[in-house]
Structure 1
Amino acid sequence: MLFFQRTCKFSTETGSPVVMLNSLPMGKKMTIAEGVLICKICTCVYPSNCSCNQDLDMRFGFDLCSEEKDFLWKRKRHVANALKNVFHLVLSSCVQQVPVVAIITTGGGLKSMTGLYGGLLGLKKLNLLDCITYISGLSGTTWTMANLYRDAYWSQKDLDWHICEAQKQATKCKMGCFSVDRMKYYNKQLCQRKEEGYRTSFIDLWGLIIEYLLNDGKDPHKLSEQREALCEGQNPLPIYVSVCVRNNYSTHDFKEWVEFTPYEVGLLKYGAFIRTENFGSEFFMGRMLKKLPESRICYLQGMWSSIFSVNLLQIWGLSHNEDPILPTRPHELRTRTYTPPGPLSNALRGALTDRFSVAQHHNFLKGYQLHNNYLENEHFCRWKDTVLDTRPNKLMQNPDHLGMIDAGFFINTSSAPLLRPQREVDVIIYLIFWFLRVACKYYSEQKIPFPKASLSDEDKNLKECYVFQDSDSPRCPIVIFLPLVNDTFREYKAPGVKRCCSEMEGGQLDLTSRCSPYCMFSVRYSDENYRRLLNLSEYNVLNNSQIIMQALHIAMQRKRQNMC
């Protein structure tokens, strides 16, 4: 666990530290006598009587929460039975020998939403969906996940109903989201949210628009309600990913991973977690000061998939595949003396890094400062990748609000939570992933175990499936990479079944051109385009079933060997 210390003020009269004690009435202060020992975590006057985490409304530590551990115990039994049926094997009853398989996705609006449905359908037909322990998503794939997890037993059923419902929403006319009645609804909902204590922004409006794009009416669903879909270990555990940013910093300079599960919301770097239903409430020094009603999931989807949090720097990077050099800031200089940047330099940096809108939520770490030996913590260093990490007084300045954006504006992957060593992921299935080179470079820089990929983003003739592994590193997961490419699908409508002349058009998909119907900003598909994309995603999984099966078999062998 990281060492945190609660912030305290110093008396102007005595110079002694003055802290707010939990046992005193609100507003009263107490001067701590010189020489009195204070707990570094909770500033308790008598450390021997300190209960630290026990009386807080948040959890500090890098271990998994008790609910997730309980889920894993139940899920591994489901996975063990599925593996026995698929491979016709007699596995040991020891759940420790069951490999942990995770699906990682990328963003891209309706394209990624539809592609994930197709990938899951393919795994379902191969009887492999019950072998999955985790599904992580960002941006458009969170739309798929949120819709599925309304049904507490979705993975145990036929997926056709969910897919048809998604098709109805993807193909409907979207002009109604700008009607007068709808505008009145937006205004009413935003006013209510503000009265509840939330700081509203354009991202909240975007969340309400997403609600309309994906539903026929108001969606009352909340993230914590998805626990019902996990109570028996009957479905994979969903993890939604965002990144925390700061004003006047690019995502290259400052970003911190945030994970959302039905159980907890947490900042990975600090090992700080709160209950999901308490996200957005006001905290100070680990205690909840004001409980706010839990947000409906549409507001979270607005944050997870916000196209309005982009800045000029990211637009440049997307179009040129590189970041422009920013004017130097004092914190970037290694020397002790520097010349402060001038007004023009500040204005240029601001123009490049300012975002149109960022989701703002109360900072649940408010009142805490990192202890000065935080750099010694192995878990912290795993996610230490911002320009402020060498200056702890700058890193944790306790802003009132955390600014969160779509993780797609960084490396467009939902992988970070699943690469936590505590989750012990053995196999990763990458669905509809493009930016492999950037992600691998990031993993290498962070010294995160991940196999080297022998291809880059510039490869023109991508295959439908790749497997990457590092046999010399037992902690390194096996990666099954399934890029969204239209290769043999042009000539085959199903594995081994060639298209006849009249069916050839169904295999023609324009996935990359500027005129593609599947561009990131498209909010409406035709029925034909929706089905083609769905079928392509499903086909690529089915057509490479042997490669996927072989990778899972290797994972099981490795698991047994490590247990010996």
Structure 2
Amino acid sequence: MGTNLSSPEGLANNPEHLARLQRNETPFRLLTVRVMRARNIHKADTLTESDCYVTLWLPTASSEIARTKTIPNCKDPVWNHAFCYRIDSRVKNIIQMKIWDEDYITKDDELFSLCFDVAKLRIEQTSRVSFKLDPQTNEELDVEFTLQTIPHRPENIITNGTLVSREISCLEVQVDIGKLKQEYTQGDLILTIKGSYEETQKISMAPDSSLSNRNSIEFHCIKNNQSCLEVILPKKTLWSKLTSCTERARSNASVTLPLTELPIHEKISIGEDKTFDLHVKARDWQRGLDVRLSSDLCVEEQNFLSKRRKYVAAAVKKVLQLNAELQDDEVGLSSERGGNHIILPLLLLFVGSLLLAVPVPQVPVVAIMTTGGGTRSFTAMYGSLLGLQKLNLLDCITYITGLSGTTWTMAKLYEDADWSQKYLEEPINEARKQVTKSKFSCFSKDRLKYYYNELEQRTKEGYNTSFIDLWGLVIESMIHDKKDNHILSDQQAAVTEGQNPFPIYLGINLKSNYSAQDFREWLEFTPYEVGSFKYGAFIRSEDFGSEYFMGRRMKKLPESRICFMQGTWSSIFSFDFMFFWNMANSSEDFWHNWTRDRIQDIDDSLLPSPLDIKTHLVVPQGQLSSTLRDVLTGRPTMAEYPNFLKGFQLHDDYLGSEAFSAWKDSVLDSQPNRLMETVETALSVVDSGFFINTSFPPLLRPQRKVDIILHLNYSGGSQTWNLDQFAAYVSELEIPFPKTELSEEDRKNLKECYVFEDQDDVAAPIVLFFPLTNDTFKKYKAPGVERSPADMEGGNIDVSGYFSPFSTSQIAFSEENFDRLVKMTDYNILNNKDKILEAMRAVVERKKQQKSQSLGCTF
């Protein structure tokens, strides 16, 4: 569950923190920011000089946005206004300063936005920085920073090197309802603590309200944040003719109470004539984390791997016709190496713990990677799996990943806890029945009523429903005859003994006002966990959709039925204009000029350290650019779920975290405040095909140690485009992956299988690429068995043409076309048996060599 920096294990994993404690240093600092002045601020309005003020936002210390006073009609405003923050140096503290031009009629104009890394400051020193806002016009902002050590405020953090979980305080606010109702007979008493889990809570004064009898409210807040309790009294609605304007204004009064100054355990009298009593008490909230902070595989998946290796070892030995058994994760020497039985124990004693530290895996990890494609991919995947089963290779597979239409196939198969141990004829016949049936029944009056009732029930459960949920119900109707009550966590029964490959479903989290090319974060869904491997944060699959704060589950929602998840994983209605532009044109420069933030690094004259983020200036977009950006990146609908990362802060060295660095691919990854904004908002989960139609990423996590990937491509149109996209993507991230070069001739006339291998990098998996192509199947009905003249029509199948009967828009196939597609994908696997076995044999041999080398190095 991450590293607890108060524990011996946490100290061992964080030498810097250990050294700090040995020096009796506290991680807490007092930061004083004095906004001095600005120079040469150009007019935002045509007729008058700017009326400038500055706002400051430091989200790791306070959720409040502070501001200076406004200096009217002045291009060289002087504020000399100081702000103080109590910060924790273990998190990444970025202070954002914005210069605004105040307008009394229209919205205030944002002139400049600066982001400054507090880690650049030196303790017990004052640094005055002149920020060059625009060198051409000599616009500048002078700010003075002072960083001081303050007395230690005990707080244990838990971190995985990327995210930081802070301690939580539970604040209990007791309200004297009796006194309150003497003066207010209706309306709401509103209490707000920004940055808390609850944010805002209300107590109704209406006599018949179920909330009117509440006299105690709890808020959960970050323990050492600078927070305020804002109390807004109810409005008075019964006015006498003698009521003065002053009394009316006071009747909707608000009171803001800094929590650091509250007389805890004492009564506070507020309101008119101080007749309203408020009692505020705080206590530490000792609840542990419900989010697993680690990049390692969960215990359940590790247990699965241990059991699955036994199936794989036996299957690989059989298909490769090996004489000796493949060893599991052995350590040290085995008796199979021969030698004197008296000498062996002496050798083991001699090398001792060194030998015990040498892992020697021999069993290859083979994975199936599928792509999306609606009903086409749903159907084609059955044929590929059938081919693997005929070759006795299904038991050689450890992982299966899917997205979009192949998640329909996977979810159907994993309803049966022993599906891969049975012949696939029965599930294929069931799929044939569902694909070929008329889809008009999915929109009958009874089905529409069913959809309405299900969406209403989902709303009652606490979910925010959208069109994507309706789409999930339509998918359910398309591939089932009745309501499907299965949930993702039910699939644990299919992997608990290692009897089937481990299923991983893939989606991406997007951010509003950003295209998928600019911002996306991979999310993987397994029977045990849902999580982000970029952040190293995972929750139990049955808790996805529940509400979290700072790693604690705050509100439990029922687990979503699998159909709603399928709607999310294949949300074909979440497109934006940029998606279609990127499909049609590889040049993105023009559109990025309109959809990307204009950010530039600027010099702040301070000596940087390796952990510091450069100071950068964000130039706000104009109204035209902002409007066009909304149009280009706007999406009709997306599935939104509570973000289980809510409340987390980023570690001071998060950019150096191995897991985060591996998947750092977003324009916001070097902007911690924007990332924190993202985790505060809901997860907007869509089909990962809106970025790249592939489910590769979970298989490239080094913890899974995948040796061979069977890339089963079911996309429409170009069969190589997604592979080219992904190869370029991982190359930029420097993730081990083989080069996927194809000749122009091959691209024009695709064969059934290509093998890609990086001989120089054993960390890169061997990839066998199976495009959806009709190559030799046109002439052969089975490997080596030519078609008769009467059977030639059976091989005449157009799988990727513009008028193909298998286009993504087709939601139903004829029986004949269903059979053809299944037979073709089955054949393409069978016809390339030798290439699959050759790759497996190469991996087994490579592992044997690694074993010999590791044992040799040990001695």
* 1:162 paired residue number: 427
Q: 1:333 aligns with which of 577, 599, 604?
A: 599
* 1:415 paired residue number: 696
Aligned amino acid, residue 374 of structure 1: Y
Q: Structure 1 residue 8: deviation in Å?
A: 5.4
Q: Structure 1 residue 35: deviation in Å?
A: 2.7
8 A contact 1:2–1:270 mirrored in 2: no
8 A contact 1:3–1:374 mirrored in 2: no
* 1:490 paired residue number: 778
Q: Structure 1 residue 70: deviation in Å?
A: 0.2
Query: Which segments of 5 or more consecutive residues in structure 1 lack a partner in the other structure?
Result: 20-32
* 1:503 paired residue number: 791
Change (3 A) 1:499 1:179: same
Q: Distance in 2 between matches of 1:352 and 1:539?
A: 43
Q: Structure 1 residue 371: deviation in Å?
A: 1.8
Q: 1:452 aligns with which of 739, 742, 746?
A: 739
Aligned amino acid, residue 300 of structure 2: E
Secondary structure at the aligned position of 2:806 is classed as coil
Q: Distance in 1 between matches of 2:310 and 2:786?
A: 39
Q: Structure 1 residue 412: deviation in Å?
A: 0.5
Aligned amino acid, residue 43 of structure 1: R
Q: Distance in 2 between matches of 1:43 and 1:448?
A: 32
Q: Structure 1 residue 373: deviation in Å?
A: 1.3
User: Is residue 569 of structure 2 the alignment partner of residue 304 of structure 1?
Assistant: yes
* 2:546 paired residue number: 281
Aligned amino acid, residue 382 of structure 1: A
8 A contact 2:327–2:363 mirrored in 1: no
Q: Distance in 1 between matches of 2:689 and 2:305?
A: 28
User: Is residue 473 of structure 2 the alignment partner of residue 208 of structure 1?
Assistant: yes
Q: Structure 1 residue 341: deviation in Å?
A: 1.6
Q: Structure 1 residue 563: deviation in Å?
A: 2.1
* 1:396 paired residue number: 676
Secondary structure at the aligned position of 1:151 is classed as coil
* Higher mean C-alpha displacement, 118-127 vs 93-102: 93-102
Secondary structure at the aligned position of 1:334 is classed as strand
Q: Structure 1 residue 513: deviation in Å?
A: 2.1
Aligned amino acid, residue 166 of structure 2: T
Aligned amino acid, residue 325 of structure 2: L
Secondary structure at the aligned position of 1:418 is classed as helix
Which deviations, in whole Å up to 9, do the C-alpha atoms of 1:249-307 show, x marking residues without a partner?
00000000000000000011100000000000011111111100000000000000111
User: Is residue 328 of structure 2 the alignment partner of residue 94 of structure 1?
Assistant: yes
8 A contact 1:177–1:212 mirrored in 2: yes
Q: Structure 1 residue 339: deviation in Å?
A: 4.1
Q: Structure 1 residue 338: deviation in Å?
A: 5.5
Q: Distance in 2 between matches of 1:128 and 1:418?
A: 19
Q: Distance in 1 between matches of 2:763 and 2:638?
A: 36
Secondary structure at the aligned position of 1:93 is classed as coil
Query: For the pair shown, which has the larger CA radius of gyration, 1 or 2?
Result: 2
Structure 1 residues 512-551: aligned runs within 5 Å? 512-551=800-839
Superposed CA RMSD in Å reads 2.6
Q: Structure 1 residue 344: deviation in Å?
A: 1.3
Q: Structure 1 residue 93: deviation in Å?
A: 3.2
Q: Structure 1 residue 17: deviation in Å?
A: 5.2
Q: Distance in 2 between matches of 1:42 and 1:536?
A: 52
User: Is residue 166 of structure 2 the alignment partner of residue 43 of structure 1?
Assistant: yes
8 A contact 1:269–1:382 mirrored in 2: yes
8 A contact 1:120–1:129 mirrored in 2: yes
8 A contact 1:326–1:349 mirrored in 2: no
Query: Which segments of 5 or more consecutive residues in structure 2 lack a partner in the other structure?
Result: 6-26, 28-58, 67-82, 89-149, 158-163, 169-222, 225-284, 330-360, 603-616, 853-859
8 A contact 1:489–1:539 mirrored in 2: yes
Q: Structure 1 residue 238: deviation in Å?
A: 0.1
Q: Distance in 2 between matches of 1:515 and 1:454?
A: 29
Q: Distance in 1 between matches of 2:785 and 2:621?
A: 65
* 2:267 paired residue number: none
TM-score by length of 1: 0.92
8 A contact 1:466–1:482 mirrored in 2: yes
Q: Distance in 1 between matches of 2:727 and 2:405?
A: 22
Q: Structure 1 residue 396: deviation in Å?
A: 2.2
* 1:371 paired residue number: 651
Q: Distance in 1 between matches of 2:548 and 2:297?
A: 22
Aligned amino acid, residue 361 of structure 1: Y
Aligned amino acid, residue 93 of structure 1: Q
Q: Distance in 1 between matches of 2:376 and 2:402?
A: 13
Q: Structure 1 residue 127: deviation in Å?
A: 0.3
Secondary structure at the aligned position of 2:747 is classed as coil
Q: Distance in 1 between matches of 2:646 and 2:579?
A: 29
* 1:126 paired residue number: 391
* 1:27 paired residue number: none
Q: Structure 1 residue 18: deviation in Å?
A: 11
* Higher mean C-alpha displacement, 234-243 vs 82-91: 82-91
* 2:305 paired residue number: 72
Identity %: 51
* 1:61 paired residue number: 294
Q: Structure 1 residue 321: deviation in Å?
A: 4.7
* 2:256 paired residue number: none
Q: Distance in 1 between matches of 2:387 and 2:801?
A: 26
8 A contact 1:332–1:387 mirrored in 2: no
Change (3 A) 1:456 1:276: farther
Q: Distance in 1 between matches of 2:836 and 2:672?
A: 44
Q: Structure 1 residue 329: deviation in Å?
A: 5.9
How many aligned residue pairs are there?
Answer: 548
Which deviations, in whole Å up to 9, do the C-alpha atoms of 1:503-541 show, x marking residues without a partner?
111101112222111101110000000010101000000
Aligned amino acid, residue 308 of structure 2: R
Q: Structure 1 residue 7: deviation in Å?
A: 5.3
Q: Structure 1 residue 94: deviation in Å?
A: 2.8
* 1:22 paired residue number: none
Q: Distance in 1 between matches of 2:367 and 2:782?
A: 25
Change (3 A) 1:42 1:436: closer
8 A contact 2:462–2:557 mirrored in 1: yes
User: Is residue 62 of structure 2 the alignment partner of residue 9 of structure 1?
Assistant: yes
Q: 2:316 aligns with which of 39, 59, 83?
A: 83
* 1:314 paired residue number: 579
Q: Distance in 2 between matches of 1:106 and 1:413?
A: 5
Secondary structure at the aligned position of 1:551 is classed as helix
Secondary structure at the aligned position of 2:711 is classed as strand
Structure with greater helix percent: 1
Higher relative contact order (CA 8 A, sep 6+): 1
Q: Structure 1 residue 334: deviation in Å?
A: 2.1
Q: Structure 1 residue 332: deviation in Å?
A: 4.2
Structure 1 residues 184-263: aligned runs within 5 Å? 184-263=449-528
Secondary structure at the aligned position of 1:430 is classed as strand
Secondary structure at the aligned position of 1:471 is classed as coil
Change (3 A) 1:3 1:393: farther
Q: Structure 1 residue 43: deviation in Å?
A: 3.1
Secondary structure at the aligned position of 1:372 is classed as coil
Which deviations, in whole Å up to 9, do the C-alpha atoms of 1:414-437 show, x marking residues without a partner?
010110000000001101253211
User: Is residue 448 of structure 2 the alignment partner of residue 183 of structure 1?
Assistant: yes
Aligned amino acid, residue 593 of structure 2: P
Change (3 A) 1:359 1:269: same
8 A contact 1:203–1:308 mirrored in 2: yes
* Higher mean C-alpha displacement, 322-331 vs 279-288: 322-331
Change (3 A) 1:182 1:71: same
Secondary structure at the aligned position of 1:448 is classed as coil
Q: Structure 1 residue 325: deviation in Å?
A: 2.2
